[in-house]
Chains A and B, each alone.
Chain A
Amino acid sequence: MNDILLKVEDLHTYFYTYEGVVKAVDGVSFDIKKGEIFGLVGETGCGKSVTALSIIGLIDEPGKIVGGKIIFKGKNLLEMSEEEKRKIRGKEISMIFQEPMTALNPVYTIGDQIIELLLLHEEGIANIKKAPKELKKEKRKKAIEMLRLVRMPDPERTIDSYPHELSGGMRQRAMIAMMLATNPSLLIADEPTTALDVTVQAQILKILTDMRDKLGVSILLITHDLSVIAEVTDRVGVMYAGNIVEIADTFTIFQNPKHPYTVGLMEAIPKITEKKEELRQIRGSVPNLIYPPPGCRFHPRCDYAKPICKKEKPKLIEIEPGHFVACHLYGGEANE
């Protein structure tokens, strides 16, 4: 299929800690199409950020990608040299983080940080101080354009501000402007709005969808907020304890969830008609990823668990076109 930009196949990322091996990502597969916004949702600690960092190649010690493939534009990123990956990072695949407060370097202006990126990928100049003045001026113009594109107020002035002089929402705009300045094909946004207040959240989400529409960038949007998923994503992957348990288009996930965990998540959404006390929680707690439960990792919390669930890990299978579920309730004996 030609419209697939990124294909993650059976990704395994482990952390080798003193307490044991944390199997943070344990067989994750999904793909992202060109120009789509793909949401990744799940409880805290289920491996969303680790998946994202694995894709962009920023897993640090004690972490290690121990298996799988990450195929981006037809090439497996995991087989590339560090140098080749560095050329893709920030140019073809960019990433923005949760805390706009701390994601920008406090000692450089917004402009310097954007210009640095443009010089690196467009001119091959890693040290901003060594760039000719003319070139810097040219990049500065482009940086102002980008800031205008993300609707930064007064970009000619803001470009010379330091991060601490801007509000959280403005910083996140600056991050988005920077990370899209090189016109990448994939933007990974790891909880980009979690740290912001609600009105600003909505603005940032609007900017992200606008950018997708104007620049055609695909976005991997990570969140644990289902309302964010509902608002902006085209398709969704649901993660549980290092696995993807369900993938479908956003409408289907909300209207026709299949995996018992996804069903539980949907029921936990407060509805206007319900009283607070009636709000359902999924019972039990998030499993330890050093000694995860055998078989289906959700079985200790699942109301539908069968004997096989404790023994065999369910595979992710396509139960309807485009709707994938990893659960023994679906797919029949052939897959067990």
Chain B
Amino acid sequence: MKLWQYVVRRLIMLIPVVIGVTLITFTISHVIPANPARAWAGQKAPEEVVKRIAEKYHLNDPLYVQYYYYLAGLVKGDWGYSHSEHRPVIACLADYFPATFELTLWAMMIAIPLGIYLGVVSAVKRNKVPDHLSRVFALSGVSMPIFWLGLLLILVFYTYLGIFPASGRGIAPSHTYTGLYILDSILSLDFHALVDDVWHIILPSITLSYATLAVITRMTRSSMLEVLRLDYIKTAKAKGLPDRVVIYRHALRNAMIPTLTVSGLAFAGLLGGAVLTETIFSWPGMGRYAYHAISTLDFPAIMGVTFLMAVIFVIANLIVDILYAYLDPRIKLGE
């Protein structure tokens, strides 16, 4: 099967996923006995206004009709009106998603290479000092509460040392192309913004990366240990290849396969917005938006975020599967 055929087939499979996800979020958000029209209008708004809102958003229609309106809107790019923000959901997502995406990208750029490297060193130096150090590091990563790490970093690097700022994304670049501040500031040659934005993203991306870094380290370590005892590693050594070729070319390529799954899912998970990290660092991303939407019964926003997440998960899985087939010739796409 050709790559594009496979991608198209998998994207078609998105349709049932979309229907399933929207059906669930839609149902859940509509069986909660709350009066959204009242919530959106405000406690003191006259009954008249509440009624108008209910009518405008089909809140009095049967659920399946409401669902139909919702789906039709999704397709047309009308994802509803976010009452907590007083603007369309799509506009909110267009603002917040790039912020989260940028933060996640940086976190993964720290977590993946460093995690793989530490995992390899750990496996190769099994039960020696480097292994112990890296295991302690990984263990603290999975057990340390993220807000604690975030606050610690703020305390040290902002409060005491004053090196890095502790809140927000920094200066917006002079032109917007992608919504990713750092990329945009490079594209628009706005170096003033570039420096400021890089400075701003360092602490939150470290905070966000740590748990994933730890998981990737542990995963890589265990799969490397598994692979290193296999016969083809003995063959590679019997060929007289230097250790570094045996480890990186022969062992890691095989050991990467499980690591890849973890990384892919972690990436997708982080894109959902890390509520804690975004809150601690006042990062205007999806996590904070979702949190806010839930606490204000902003259903269109909740549904929009959930929908976007579902799509991201499916796409992340697709990318992982394609990389799988690239790394391991035994895996054939579409079989």
Where the two chains meet, the residues of A that have a C-beta atom closer than 8 Å to any C-beta of B are 56, 58, 86-91, 94-95, 97, 99, 102-107, 116-117, 120-121, 126-128, 162, 164, 175, 178-179
Contacts and interface: CB of A to CB of B under 8 A. Distances in A.
B250 A105 contact: yes
A88 B234 contact: no
Nearest to A117: B239
A121 B240 contact: yes
Given A89-B237, A102-B231, A179-B238, 15 more contacts: A95-B238, A103-B234, A105-B235, A105-B250, A106-B328, A107-B254, A107-B327, A107-B329, A117-B239, A117-B240, A126-B245, A127-B245, A127-B249, A164-B329, A164-B330
B230 interface: yes
A97 B234 contact: yes
A49 to B, nearest CB: 10
Contact of A104 (B235, B240, B249): B235
A120 B239 contact: yes
B254 A103 contact: no
Interface of B: 230-232, 234-242, 245, 249-250, 253-254, 327-330
A88 B237 CA distance: 11
Contacts of B327: 107
A162 B238 contact: no
Contacts of B235: 95, 97, 103-105, 175
B238 A90 contact: yes
Contacts of A94: 238-239
Given A58-B234, A104-B232, A164-B330, A91 B240 contact: yes
Nearest to B251: A105
Contacts of A86: 240, 242
Contacts of A99: 231
Contacts of A56: 238
A105 B231 CA distance: 9
Given A105-B250, A107-B329, A89 B238 contact: yes
Nearest to A128: B249
B234 A126 contact: no
A102 B329 contact: no
A158 to B, nearest CB: 15
Nearest to A94: B238
A126 B328 CA distance: 22
A173 B146 CA distance: 54
Given A87-B240, A89-B239, A116-B239, A102 B232 contact: yes
B8 to A, nearest CB: 26
B314 to A, nearest CB: 27
A126 B241 contact: yes
Contacts of B254: 105-107
15 contacts: A58-B238, A89-B240, A90-B240, A94-B238, A97-B235, A99-B231, A103-B234, A103-B235, A107-B253, A107-B327, A107-B328, A117-B240, A120-B240, A164-B329, A164-B330
A88 B235 CA distance: 14
A167 to B, nearest CB: 15
The 6 A-B pairs at the shortest CB distance, nearest first, are namely: A90-B240, A89-B240, A90-B239, A102-B231, A105-B232, A95-B238
A116 B329 contact: no
B241 A120 contact: yes
A123 B237 CA distance: 18
Nearest to B232: A105
A89 B242 CA distance: 11
Contacts of B242: 86, 126
A88 B239 CA distance: 9
A303 to B, nearest CB: 39
A306 to B, nearest CB: 42
B240 A97 contact: no
Contacts of B241: 90, 116, 120, 126
Contacts of B234: 58, 95, 97, 103
A164 B328 CA distance: 11
Nearest to A109: B329
Nearest to B330: A164
Contacts of B329: 106-107, 162, 164
A105 B246 CA distance: 11
Nearest to A93: B238
